[in-house]
Each structure stands twice: as C-alpha cells, then as structure tokens.
Amino acid sequence: MGEGFITRRSSSGVLIEFENYYNSVEGLTRSTPTTLSAARRLLAGASVGNYALFAGGYTGSSSDVVDAYNTSLTRSTPTTLSAARYWLAGASVGNYALFAGGYTGSYSNVVDAYNTSLTHSTPTALSVARESLAGSSVGDYALFAGGSTGSYSNVVDAYNTSLTHSTPTTLSAARRDLAGASVGNYALFAGGSTGSSSDVVDAYNTSLTRSTPTTLSAARRLLAGASVGNYALFAGGSTGSSSDVVDAYNTSLTRSTPTALSVARESLAGSSVGDYALFAGGYADNSSKVVDAYNTSLTRSTPTTLSAARRLLAGASVGDYALFAGGYADNSSKVVDAYSLNIKAYIPVTKGSKYKFTEGSEQTASTNTTLVYNQIVTGYVKYKKGKITM
C-alpha cells in the first residue's frame, strides 16, 4: 500500500487528497539501463546512498573500473579502485560502500570505500589477503568472511561506520565461494567450498558475536544470498551438479526451505527490491537468463528473464531498482538489467467527481469508473455523489 490519502469534507462533497499513493503491486518489470563502461565478469556490487556500484572484475585482465547507477539509473564512473582485481566482495555500512580483497596475479588485501558522494578512500587493509570471499552487513558493521589464500580461509574482517577495522571470531569452518546475506540483527555467511561443498552457516550479531544456526538443507558452493522482509535467503549453487535448493533464515535464525528455484544453477547473483528477493542468471549446462523472485511470504514467481544469459554477474540495489550487471557467457558482458515493482494505483470515482493526478488539469468523471495508473500518484478526487469505495 502507498502512503495513503487525506479525507476532507465540505458543502460540495468529499475531497480526498492522495499522497504517494498506490494500492497494488503486480509483479516486477525489467528495464535495461546504460551498459557498464567496461565488460567484465567476477565483479562485485554494493550500494550506498543514492547509488548502486559495480566494481572490479575480469575481462582478459584484472579491472579497476567502477560504475555507479543512481535512482534514475543514470550511470557515472567514479574514481577507479586503488588496485585492479577480480573475485572481490562488496558490502555496505553507514555512508560507505566497500569493496574488499580479490585477485590479480596475487591475493589482495586492499579495501576501497566510496561514500554517498562517490568520493573514494582506502581504509585499513584486510588482515589476510584473499579472493572468493563474501560480504554482508549488520548494525554498524560491514563484514568480509572466508575466501582463499591458496588455502581455505576462516578469517572475518569487520569495518564500522567510521571505517575502523576489527577482526571478529573466525568462521566455524574455513571456506571459499560462500555467500552472505542479512536478516534482523544478523549477518549470515552460508555454504562454500573447502575441497568439498559445505552446508555450514555462521551468523554474526550486532556485537559481532558468532553463532552457528542450523546448517543449509543441502551443502553447496557458488550460491547466492539476498534478503527480503524477515528472511535471508541462500539460493542455488553447486555440489558437483547445479542445485535448485533455497534455504531461508528468519530473524530468529530458524531455517525453512521455500519452493526451489525454477531452474537449478550455480554462479548466480542475488539482489532485492521492495518486497522481493531476486536470484538472476547463473550456469547449469549453459549460461542462464532465468530470474526467480521470492516475496515476503517466500512465494516464488518468475519475472521476465534477463536480457542476456550470463553467469558470474553481480547484484546490487538502488532506490526502486534491483540491478544485475556484467557476467560471462561466450565473452565478458557489459549488460545491466534492472527490475522494479510493477505498481498500480486503482482509484474509484463517481459520475460528476473531479480529479487530478497525472492529467495536467482537473478532469470531470463522465461515468462511475475506476482510474488506473501504472505508477505512484499524488493528487485528489472531489467526490460529489455516490458511494465512495477505496
């Protein structure tokens, strides 16, 4: 439901003023913003303020490129990373989006931070250089967990809202290719690989105290995380073959298993918008363009597919959009797909009522009807006669 409306009565009838109003969400709509400034895979996404950022990656060599999309999906290119790298991780805290670790011929401990003005800084480096780590956030902390240094890592690095660095209790099991997501007072890190696929889940609360919730229902690596409502979801992955499993953890860290993905796949990406967590792309026998969406009740739907099939892409959110950028099919990709809520405003009017929303000037209803707008609306209806049904 939108922000609602205000009712006023006068001798001529009832005036209802609508402010940022809608009363229905009918799925998700895809659009294709301006492409990345450079095609690449194995990049990372994170959000800050009015921007979704996509940083680093690989396209024959390591990339230091950063692309930023604002709430209107206009692209800009902030200062590049301080070190080119791929298989890095993104996370957000306070007024910063952070990109940590990665690989560029050697393992990286570099952390780059971008504030709400896209000004770049370089906080204290990770305590251990590594690739294939995962990022998540909780309270006043962005966390980077696990990864590979040539051997599997259990290290966790935390950055607070002032970008001060600390090292919480390590993961309960060292692993790479894990996934991060947040719910309530917890940042979760799930699955991964330690020679074989893992079902381990580690949770960190707002004090950075670690606990180990119920394991995943199926061990897997190269899975994706995303959050919606009271749930952190972990979807897909691989355990020798591609998986369609989805595990959900609520704010009490109780696990459930929603309807599986419509197509099993690994190396997919997660992002969220409104009341939906989305999982896009990936790989099974071929690169995939499938998108699965889960609402706050964990009901699954399948929105319009990506405009181009690809794996090893990245997700991030900004304003009214969940974005999926880059990746790989036959070559590295610069494609960006954006998903927004398909919003409807249904407003009944009676014959003789006067209204104004997007029309430019006040209109008079010639019949009893329902006005339909494919957007959030602000305006009014002056009802004179008839029953008002909202």
Q: What is the DSSP string of 252-275?
A: T--EE--SPPSS--BS-EEEEETT
pLDDT at position 2 is 62
Give yes or no: residues 197 and 79 share one domain: yes
Sign of CA dihedral 157, 159, 164, 166: negative
Instruction: Specify if 252 maps to a domain.
Output: yes
Give yes or no: residues 103 and 234 share one domain: yes
Instruction: Specify if 390 maps to a domain.
Output: no
Q: What tens digit of pLDDT does each residue of 238-294 get? A: 998 999 999 999 999 999 999 999 999 999 999 999 999 999 999 999 999 999 999
Give yes or no: residues 184 and 224 share one domain: yes
Instruction: Specify if 223 maps to a domain.
Output: yes
pLDDT at position 280 is 98
Give yes or no: residues 15 and 136 share one domain: no
Confidence of residue 25 (pLDDT cuts 50, 70, 90): confident
Instruction: Specify if 388 maps to a domain.
Output: no
Give yes or no: residues 374 and 329 share one domain: no
Instruction: Specify if 389 maps to a domain.
Output: no
Q: Which structure tokens are listed for 38?
A: 């450079």
Q: What does pLDDT average to over the chain?
A: 95
Give yes or no: residues 173 and 246 share one domain: yes
Instruction: Specify if 248 maps to a domain.
Output: yes
CATH number at residue 107: 2.120.10.80
Residues, the chain, total?
A: 390
pLDDT surpasses 90 at 10: no
Give yes or no: residues 9 and 111 share one domain: no
Q: How far apart, in whole angstroms, are the C-alpha atoms of residue 76 and residue 83?
A: 19
Give yes or no: residues 172 and 78 share one domain: yes
> How many structural domains compose the chain?
2
Which residues are registered as beta bridge partners of 30?
A: 339
pLDDT surpasses 70 at 388: no
As a whole number of Å, the end-to-end CA separation of the chain is 12
- pTM for the full model? 0.91
Nearest to 323 by CA among 78, 115, 67: 67
**Full DSSP string of 96-141:** EEEEE--BSSSB---EEEEETT--EE--SPPSS--BS-EEEEETTE
Give yes or no: residues 176 and 158 share one domain: yes
Give yes or no: residues 9 and 69 share one domain: no
Confidence of residue 11 (pLDDT cuts 50, 70, 90): low
> Cα-flanking dihedrals φ and ψ of residue 270, to 5°?
-115, 150
Give yes or no: residues 220 and 323 share one domain: yes
Under 8 Å between Cβ of 185 and 141: no
Give yes or no: residues 227 and 79 share one domain: yes
Under 8 Å between Cβ of 346 and 370: yes
Q: Which domain holds residue 366?
A: 5-24+343-383
Instruction: Specify if 58 maps to a domain.
Output: yes
Confidence of residue 108 (pLDDT cuts 50, 70, 90): very high
